[in-house]
A and B are shown apart, each in its own frame.
Chain A
Amino acid sequence: MRHRLAWPLVTLFLLLAVNTAFNPSFLHIQWRDGHLYGSLIDILNRAAPLVLVSLGMTLVIATRGIDISVGATVAIAAALAAWMIGGSVAGDVSRFPMPVAILGALAIALVCGLWNGLLVAKVGMQPIIATLILMVAGRGIAQLITGGQIITIYYAPFFFLGGGYLLGLPFSLFIVGAVFAALYLAMTRTALGLFIQAVGINPGAARVAGIQSRRLIVGAYAFCGLCAGIAGLLICSNVKSADGNNAGQLLELDAILAVTLGGTALTGGRFSLVGSVIGALIIQTLTYAIYSLGVPPEINLVVKAIVVFIVMLLQSPEFRAFIGKAIRRPALHEGRP
């Protein structure tokens, strides 16, 4: 375990170091307005939705699947929450009580996840197509809910979810922490982790061994949908509005990238939850670096590409061996029979 996460961690620290080198106040954290304030806090807070979605995605990928509809699910959940809370400039009334709105959003996200899971496990569609359907239609549904508008939310208590602070830390971190802890316990203290890996590595063998892989797969997608729903709530609470077209745009790619950077293979099986969290933090730190280092927007993508290339090469044992050999070139022939 330690070994597998070493390189993602090294990458994260390198990125933090680069940030600090260019911006000395980067690591600076101060107490302001009753909470902690600083770049690191921003990164954690901003990474929260991505971490959540990556956790869900990790499970789906572990079962040999993929879910490209998470961005759309985020948009649907956000749209429904915003609609249920409603918008009046007064700011102290909501259309439905807030808990109902939150449960409604989570419920619809769960339904999205279940839908994907059923298409994959029961109908037997290929995951990428099954989730493509929701990816395409989902944003339409979100826009249908919002009427194509950006719904601005004025109801202040709702802002606590994605923008409030508890014990000086962003409240979203507590949500992420809770989801992570629950998931981690479920994976290590029950047989779920073992079963999911078995299904991901060899579905045939898992079936013969008596594992009910369909249920597990549906469960994984449902959980992924739920995570996306929570992420949607955090995002829409943080920007105090819901945007059916743009909320969670390209989140699926970032989430998959986070999972892979964390060392989980897209071919399924062995997975690492901690790795996915680190992967998400790497992505957010990189994004933050691009913004705060004054990188011109037109080369954002090139910078991102180069960092991803470096990160994945660093993580490749073959590449490290290759570099090692290149350095010790003269000794190459001795080991060779």
Chain B
Amino acid sequence: MNPAPPRRFNLKYLPLAATVSLFVAMATLGSAMYTGFFSAQVFLNLLIDNAFLIVVAVGMTFVILSGGIDLSVGSVVALTTMVCASLVEHRGWSMGTVIPLVLAMGTAFGAFMGFLIERFRLQPFIVTLAGMFLARGLCYLISIDSISIGNETFAAVSQMRIPLWADASLSVGAAIALAVLLAAIFIAHCTGFGRAVYAIGGSEQSAVLMGLPVRGTLIGVYTLSGFCSALAGVIFTFYMLSGYGLHAVGLELDAIAAVVIGGTLLTGGVGYVAGTLFGVLMLGIIQTLIAFDGTLSSWWTRIVVGLLLLAFCLLQRLLTQRAPKA
């Protein structure tokens, strides 16, 4: 009846645009303040140092979009590094057999939690919290000490750099993370599974009544997150060349924070995978800024991290205030 008012810019991308522009603003600020900050490698390091976080957060994005949460990711990363390290070091297995094995293990772990959540209508928070305890506990059963990986293939992959231009380069882990990100964007927006995740997050009841495969999708979401955690664990193993039960402590919170900062609603159904990338980069750049500053004491570090987070979130709210009510 009434033609919709003309729009120059689709308002639903506003939160994403806000996040991206704030990231750019932060980067500009850093470059202006610290020497050596404005270099390609510093920005590539954001990807290299946060590759595992990107992968974990991508999995987490799907979980949160479906209206759930996965607290087990950090522990699964630790468990993966531990299993990798102990199989390679103590059993002498090769990289080619260990990696598929741990990926399958993480995937199965996620599927198991997803099954409990879906079949017995348990709260995701508590199931994945128990999963977090379990995975971390299993690490200690393997060994309480850390295990260094001396295997040459691992070391070679770990130190391999993909040259980009001049002397800027990217690690294998970062390349994998970018690939995962692209695949996830595709899954989220161009496949039935991805759209079902959004639908369930919007209203699970409606999704059931619309005849969407809710059960499979819910289990699938946690399975995917389990897979992503295991993959992140493999990247982490390359990154650290060691297995350790205390690796990636608190990673789940970083991942959740990255997802939410990236504009995804914790209540589900709203958000973008691409936003998550910028959420991770945001957290990363806050740390880089602080490392470059180098004058903050331990407690001021925490306070400043909190303040930067606050400033970012306030600005983001301000910029997105004019978003549609819905």
Give the shortest distance, in Å, between A323 (CB) and chain B (any CB). 10
Q: Which of B125, B129, B141, B307 contacts A299 (CB 8 A)?
A: B141
Q: Does B144 contact A (CB under 8 A)?
A: yes
Asked if B266 and A133 make an inter-chain contact with CB atoms under 8 angstroms apart, the answer reads no
User: How many Å from the CB of B34 to the closest CB on chain A?
Assistant: 21
Bitwise, B200-212 to A at CB < 8 A (1) or not (0) is 0000000000000
Q: A139 in the interface, Cβ–Cβ < 8 Å?
A: yes
CA distance A64 to B317 in the complex (A): 19
Q: A132 and B309: CB pair below 8 A?
A: yes
- Enumerate chain B residues within 8 angstroms of A260, measured Cβ to Cβ: 123, 125-126
Residues of A within 8 A of B303 (CB): 137, 140-141, 144
Query: Could you tell me if B121 and A316 are in contact, using CB atoms closer than 8 angstroms?
Result: yes
Minimal Cβ-Cβ distance residue in A for B67: A267
Select one of A141, A261, A305, A319 contacting B133, CB under 8 A.
A305
A322 at the interface (CB under 8 A from B): yes
- Whether B306 lies near A133 (C-beta < 8 A) is yes
B298 contacts the other chain (CB 8 A): yes
Q: Which of A34-82 contact B (CB under 8 A)?
A: 64, 68
With A143-B299, A301-B134, A318-B120 known as contacts, the answer to whether A129 contacts B257 (CB < 8 A) is: yes
A121 CB to nearest chain B CB (Å): 13
Known: A124-B317, A302-B138. A266 touches B144 (CB 8 A): no
Partner of B126, one of A64, A138, A308: A308
The reply to whether B130 and A312 form a contact with Cβ atoms under 8 Å apart is: yes
Could you count the A-B residue pairs with CB atoms below 8 Å apart for me: how many are there? 132
> From residue B279, how far is it (CB to closest CB) to chain A in Å?
10
Residues 310-336 of chain A: 1 if any B CB is under 8 Å from the residue's CB, otherwise 0?
001100111100100000000000000
CB neighbours (8 Å) of B138 from chain A are 302
Interfacial chain A residues near B266, Cβ < 8 Å: 126-128
Q: Tell me which residues from 112 to 148 in chain A have a Cβ below 8 Å from any Cβ of chain B.
A: 123-130, 132-134, 136-144, 148
Known: A68-B253, A318-B121. 12 other contacts (CB 8 A): A137-B310, A140-B298, A140-B299, A253-B129, A257-B129, A266-B123, A298-B144, A299-B141, A301-B137, A305-B130, A309-B130, A319-B120
Which 8 A-B pairs rank lowest in CB-CB distance, beginning with the nearest? A137-B306, A140-B302, A301-B137, A302-B137, A305-B134, A143-B299, A305-B133, A140-B303
Query: Measuring CB to CB, which residues of chain B are less than 8 angstroms from any residue of chain A?
Result: 116, 119-123, 125-127, 129-134, 136-138, 140-141, 144, 253, 256-257, 260-261, 265-267, 297-307, 309-310, 313-314, 317
